[in-house]
Structure 1
Amino acid sequence: MTLRTYVEMLKFQDRLHSYSYFQKAAVGAIKCYLKLYDSPSKSATDEDDEMSKLPPSQKKKLRQKQRKAEARAKKEAEVKEETNVTAVSKSGKRPVKPVDPDPRGEKLLMVEDPLMEATKYLKLLQKHSSEYIETHLLSFEVNMRKQKTLLALQAVKHLLRLDAEHPDSHRCLIKFFSKVGSMPAPVTDAEKLIWGVLEAERPTISQLHGKSLIDANSFFLEKHRDSLMHRAAVAEMLYVLEPNKKGEAITLIEGSNNDMGSTNGALGSVRKWRLKDCIAVHKLLETIINDNDAASRWKVQCAEYFPYSTYFEGNHSSAVSNSTSHQIPKLPQNDGGADSSISNQNSSSLSSNGKVEELEALKDLVIQ
């Protein structure tokens, strides 16, 4: 290795955490740790406690299932071992394979402090990807769970600096001050100091200057009434601020219009809604607002806009085609009859080199 190559390798290592693939991996890891914190896995002690509450008959059935599962796993391991022995006898060399001590990843779920593990990746993102908006979104989520009020405020200010009109920036802003408003009166000196900082910082935020949180939420809606994700953010915050207005929040989402938008592409006008945004709205209705009827209506509506979506189970999606494929009878072989004339008509749209000659069939194609 030459000196130049060595120096280039060192520079690459210095920039390693700035690359987009590391950002995506770190974001995914942090989200996993947040999910583990919100929904911790059951330990063996908890499972034993739950089993002790069951009646004797159910205990017996559960133990039988566990024994069968253990026996099945043991048998599979023995079969693999026999296969390895056979391979040794034929080739004379025993294949060396690393043994996975945790094939199901159960030990990975047993994290003592998920937020501490998430913070390790968060610090790397804050150091090397400070202009990445998702860095501060995750910083807000982590610090709110850790009850680090000032660090959460810092994340909100970074979000407003990067993009004050982003739906997630608005969501974090309203969430933060809604949480602060529900905090008890400060007692200790540290709490009084934090409270003083919050009172000094709130007037400097233009989105809240002279407005209540409800007014700020309504004002944000007026500015972005035509955007699906902005309306969804406003609806979510309306439900957070006033849970009794759940129906109004749902109406706000369902009242969004998927209008046609002009593009410079060859396909002409396309609809504004994107598939990933519609999926996010469906999860919002299903989990946070917790209205299964509204989520079902939204799913049916989006299945029409995205007929190839497996998530929404559109008419042309693989999820639907796989479920109905066994009901479709096989067509008989044609001998030049009417079916062959149809196939000849279909094949006439393609030239000998495979290029599409007739584009009329593609005029209604919508790509999101």
Structure 2
Amino acid sequence: MPSSQPLPPKEKTLFNRILKCYEQKQYKNGLKFAKQILSNPKFADHGETLAMKGLTLNCTGKKEEAYELVKKGLKNDLKSHVCWHVYGLLQRSDKKYDEAIKCYRNALRWDKENLHILRDLSMLQVHMRDLEGYRETRYTLLQLKPGQRASWIGYAIANHLLKDYMVAFKVLEEFGKTQQSQDNQYEHSELLLYQTDILVEAGLHQRALEHLEGNKDRIVDKLTWLETKGDLFIKLQNLDEAEEIFTDLVYRNPENHRYLKKLEEIVNPSTLEERLQLYQSVTTVFPKADSPKFIPVTFSTGSTFQNLIDKFMRSQLKRGVPPLFTSLKPLYSDPEKVRFITATVESYISSLESCEKFSEADEETEPPTTILWTKYFYALHLDALKEYEKALSVLNQSLEHTPTLIELHVAKAKVLKHLGDIAGAVACMDEAQSLDTADRFINCKCACYMIRNDMISEAEETASKFTRENISVEEYLKEMQCMWYEVECANAHTRAKRFGEALQKCHEVDRHFSEIVEDQFDFHQYCMRKMTLRSYVKMLKLEDSLRSHRFYFEAARIAIKVYINLHDEPYKPGDRKTIEGESSMSSAELKKLRNKQRRQERKKAAQEEKRKQEEKANRKKQQQQRKNDDEGDTKKEEEFQPEKLVSVSDPLDQAQKFLVPLELHCYNRFDTHMFAFQIAERRSRLLVMLRALLRAQKAASNGDLAELHFCKVRFAKKVCDTNGVSSAVNDVIGKHFGNIYGDVGLEEFNQRFLDENNDSLAHIYAGSKAMYHLDNAKKDEALLKLLNFSTETKNVTIQICEDILTSLRSKLVYGQVPEDFLKDFTEKCRDFFPRACSFKPPGSTVTAKVNGIDHCSAGDPTNTGDIAMAEISMESSKADEHKMNADQNYDTSETIENHCSNGM
């Protein structure tokens, strides 16, 4: 459509050059041509030229000037599709997608058949999941360009995403008829498999099978063809054909658990003997395969289990397979099986030490390495059973025998961590990584342990062994989206009450997820062009639930806790917060601590100066490169400043931003609703509190009931203390009040809870907090309950004890607690956990020797424990306890994938 401000041929040629320069990122040349047009008085206000100049300036980082020019150009030529399109591109660059879509629609009012605008609009619509609008736009493109492959495929995908499966299939069928020859057989094969997936999702299994059979010769991916066909035969109850296919697949890969499980599903053995016979037949054909030997161990019982596990463990220990414990983890939910494994491995060790055989009746003598791996497995087994001291003794004996085995040092570090001796764990991990400096996994684990011991600078130095040269570790890991590192750093900063730095890391993790979402733009057209349609649809579904990932949950959890703490205790710039416990230090100890702090500050300043110099050199290098490439894209990524992050005036609003994705994607997690409850409580929104409480009650597990009880008490107290509640709100609360609390008063409700759970420290802690919350005069009684735990008390863990100690010192949960009581509680915790750094006497030090240098941390929970916010200390206790249990059952292969694939 001709512009309302047409240009003569000379200026039109210049304008076309501007467009070409923009596409080729030659921004300086584009601005030069724009200047030539606008310098002519006749075209000084030419709208489209002004808009293109603004768009070019936006690419050079001059955003404000760009917006001014584009708006001016649009004002001068409101009927120009170019001006509206440019304004949409500008909005899209600022991630204002809804506004960009409006601009594209306005552009289409003046040029309904502009392919560029329609494509850009369709990309934004699928990105924002406006699927109805996406289908409408793709249909328009199909009408305009029926000869283009992307037009057909885009319309088919739109119908597939809207679950109009038959329309999507028929569109692809018609598209296939237009293709005279398949130049690329791989792309055509992917298209045919995608059609099959559509039919399977539609529930048309017979038709999907016929489609597969009819296109057998044209489908290149024979493995997927076989797997899909086998699944379809099972759904159609054609079990003979299915058995033949999955038998073939087992011959291809006998270690694949899915194939073996499918084969079992097809055969459907009626007795345990028939089930065992199935796996025995596979083992006979493939004697070296481990999977058909292990799967029967998971479902067998009694003497059958004992025979199978004995054979399996012997074969693994003979070969020295380190992940044997990882393989057997699924069995640890059965106490009977655990008892037999204990007896078996103990008998192995006894026999190997006496006669170098698994049992005296054996004829074969085992090599010395067999007893080493047997003790290694036994130590991990004891660690899983929480017999930490015994596990440590076994590991020390093994290290005396073979001090160069890396796995022993890693296992010892793990056991020491569970004993609370994080400094000792760091020393063990550093020893392990020094034995093999080329092992990236060990390097990652060592850095992780260092961060948990608040040795962030040492962790950076360790991690730098695997980072790119001429760039700081921090920048490199940020660039590589290494989120495990950032989450661990956020936890470390939170423990040290460096809330600004903790929030910085949390926001960086959040930005990584936003960048992953933005990366979809690279695939909306690429996947249709390359025909990777099955992967494209999977990616879209993954992106829809992306923020359910554990890294995002951990970062959001930390951020919400910090923002709630900032609401309760607003940040005051310039205030120097003293370290807890300093008041009880002697002058010599205080002087030693100050000297240590000064050394750390000097070291940190030197590292910061070095980092600035490196960044300066990198900036110069990048500027020179941009100059050589004649590019001016100097748009800088927004940096998160710690001081700015902790100085926000609306911390609860900031916490709410992190909470919204959790409510959408982590709805089944108890902590999500506890966060919602705490934010609503501080905003005095009773109905939101009630909703969160009811949702938390549904999502709560046995380990969450203690914290749930405390929240119930807080809600009832809030209702009683709130004046001026409307009758409608009272009616809603009244409907649920009786179901939650019964017909007893609050104090009796809490006392009953304490009486019923007097053998659990977590419940005693929750009831004690509730007692003080209801009546501050009962402070002494509430505190005394915390001391009445013994070896028979359940849930006495390092984490819970640390959280109780933190709440006692915070003055927010129990007010001012006497120093004598703090000392008594700490000593009692020390009796239970003598190795734990958190309960060392004030002024004592815990030493971790790293790289030949002693790194000391004060014997104080503020330095070595996992600090939790006082209001939600129990919640942090549960989360970190779950994390410890996960560490105990850590899958080595998963760890390598999570740690290494994310940047190191």
What's the TM-score bracket when you normalise by the shorter of the two chains?
0.5 to 0.7
The verdict on how the C-alpha distance between 1:138 and 1:84 changes in structure 2, with shifts beyond 3 A counting, is closer
Find the aligned partners of 1:143 and 1:209 in 2 and give their Cα distance.
Answer: 24
**SS in structure 1 of the partner of residue 719 of structure 2:** helix
Structure 1 match to 2:840: 313
Q: Deviations over 1:61-111 (max 9, x none)?
A: xxxxxxxxxxx9xx98997699569979xxxx9444999997862112222
The answer as to whether partners of 1:30 and 1:121 remain within 8 angstroms in 2 is: yes
Q: TM (normalized to structure 2)? A: 0.28
Find the aligned partners of 1:101 and 1:111 in 2 and give their Cα distance.
Answer: 17
User: Residues 137-216 of structure 1: matches in 2 within 5 Å?
Assistant: 137-163=674-700, 166-186=705-725, 191-205=726-740, 208-216=741-749
Q: Cα RMSD between the aligned structures?
A: 3.8
Which of 809, 823, 832 pairs up with 1:296? 823
Task: Return the index of the structure with the highest Cα Rg.
Answer: 2
The answer as to whether partners of 1:30 and 1:138 remain within 8 angstroms in 2 is: yes
Find the aligned partners of 2:835 and 2:573 in 1 and give their Cα distance.
Answer: 41
Identity of paired residues, percent? 27
Find the aligned partners of 1:314 and 1:136 in 2 and give their Cα distance.
Answer: 37
The answer as to whether partners of 2:760 and 2:793 remain within 8 angstroms in 1 is: no
Q: Deviations over 1:137-191 (max 9, x none)?
A: 10110001111110001111122223386111000000110111122244xxxx2
- The answer as to 2:553 corresponding to 1:19 is no
Query: In the TM superposition, what is the alpha-carbon distance from 1:322 to its structure 2 partner?
Result: 6.8
| Amino acid in the other structure paired with 2:778 | K
The verdict on how the C-alpha distance between 1:113 and 1:297 changes in structure 2, with shifts beyond 3 A counting, is same
Q: Deviations over 1:255-307 (max 9, x none)?
A: 1223288xxxxxxxxxx521111111112222211314322211122122222
The verdict on how the C-alpha distance between 1:87 and 1:215 changes in structure 2, with shifts beyond 3 A counting, is closer
The verdict on how the C-alpha distance between 1:260 and 1:163 changes in structure 2, with shifts beyond 3 A counting, is closer
Query: In the TM superposition, what is the alpha-carbon distance from 1:41 to its structure 2 partner?
Result: 1.9
The verdict on how the C-alpha distance between 1:83 and 1:305 changes in structure 2, with shifts beyond 3 A counting, is same
**SS in structure 2 of the partner of residue 320 of structure 1:** strand
**SS in structure 2 of the partner of residue 178 of structure 1:** helix
Structure 1 match to 2:57: none
The verdict on how the C-alpha distance between 1:305 and 1:219 changes in structure 2, with shifts beyond 3 A counting, is same
Find the aligned partners of 1:79 and 1:282 in 2 and give their Cα distance.
Answer: 38
The answer as to whether partners of 1:304 and 1:314 remain within 8 angstroms in 2 is: no
Find the aligned partners of 1:79 and 1:196 in 2 and give their Cα distance.
Answer: 63
Find the aligned partners of 2:729 and 2:845 in 1 and give their Cα distance.
Answer: 52
Find the aligned partners of 2:550 and 2:533 in 1 and give their Cα distance.
Answer: 28
Find the aligned partners of 2:537 and 2:751 in 1 and give their Cα distance.
Answer: 55
The verdict on how the C-alpha distance between 1:4 and 1:78 changes in structure 2, with shifts beyond 3 A counting, is closer
| Amino acid in the other structure paired with 1:222 | D
Greater CA drift, 160-169 or 301-310:
160-169
| Amino acid in the other structure paired with 2:840 | E
The verdict on how the C-alpha distance between 1:3 and 1:107 changes in structure 2, with shifts beyond 3 A counting, is same
Find the aligned partners of 2:786 and 2:643 in 1 and give their Cα distance.
Answer: 39
Structure 1 match to 2:768: 235
| Amino acid in the other structure paired with 2:684 | Q
| Amino acid in the other structure paired with 2:846 | V
Structure 2 match to 1:117: 654
| Amino acid in the other structure paired with 2:831 | E
Structure 1 match to 2:403: none
User: Residues 1-368 of structure 1: matches in 2 within 5 Å?
Assistant: 1=527, 2-42=532-572, 94-96=620-622, 105-163=642-700, 166-186=705-725, 191-205=726-740, 208-259=741-792, 272-287=795-810, 288-289=813-814, 290-293=816-819, 294-313=821-840, 319-321=845-847
| Amino acid in the other structure paired with 1:320 | V
The answer as to whether partners of 1:308 and 1:314 remain within 8 angstroms in 2 is: no
The answer as to whether partners of 1:125 and 1:135 remain within 8 angstroms in 2 is: yes
The verdict on how the C-alpha distance between 1:35 and 1:96 changes in structure 2, with shifts beyond 3 A counting, is farther
**SS in structure 1 of the partner of residue 565 of structure 2:** helix
Q: TM (normalized to structure 1)? A: 0.65
Find the aligned partners of 2:651 and 2:612 in 1 and give their Cα distance.
Answer: 40
**SS in structure 2 of the partner of residue 184 of structure 1:** coil
The verdict on how the C-alpha distance between 1:25 and 1:320 changes in structure 2, with shifts beyond 3 A counting, is closer
Find the aligned partners of 1:158 and 1:78 in 2 and give their Cα distance.
Answer: 46
Query: In the TM superposition, what is the alpha-carbon distance from 1:195 to its structure 2 partner?
Result: 2.2
Gaps of 5+ in 2: 1-526, 577-601, 624-633, 856-887, 889-904
Structure 2 match to 1:353: none
The answer as to whether partners of 2:761 and 2:793 remain within 8 angstroms in 1 is: no
Find the aligned partners of 1:122 and 1:78 in 2 and give their Cα distance.
Answer: 34
| Amino acid in the other structure paired with 1:251 | L
The verdict on how the C-alpha distance between 1:296 and 1:100 changes in structure 2, with shifts beyond 3 A counting, is farther
The verdict on how the C-alpha distance between 1:82 and 1:275 changes in structure 2, with shifts beyond 3 A counting, is closer
Q: Deviations over 1:337-359 (max 9, x none)?
A: xxxxxxxxxxxxxxxxxxxxxxx
The verdict on how the C-alpha distance between 1:300 and 1:195 changes in structure 2, with shifts beyond 3 A counting, is same
Q: Deviations over 1:3-28 (max 9, x none)?
A: 22222221221121222222112111
Find the aligned partners of 2:612 and 2:770 in 1 and give their Cα distance.
Answer: 60
Find the aligned partners of 1:9 and 1:164 in 2 and give their Cα distance.
Answer: 32
Find the aligned partners of 2:744 and 2:615 in 1 and give their Cα distance.
Answer: 75
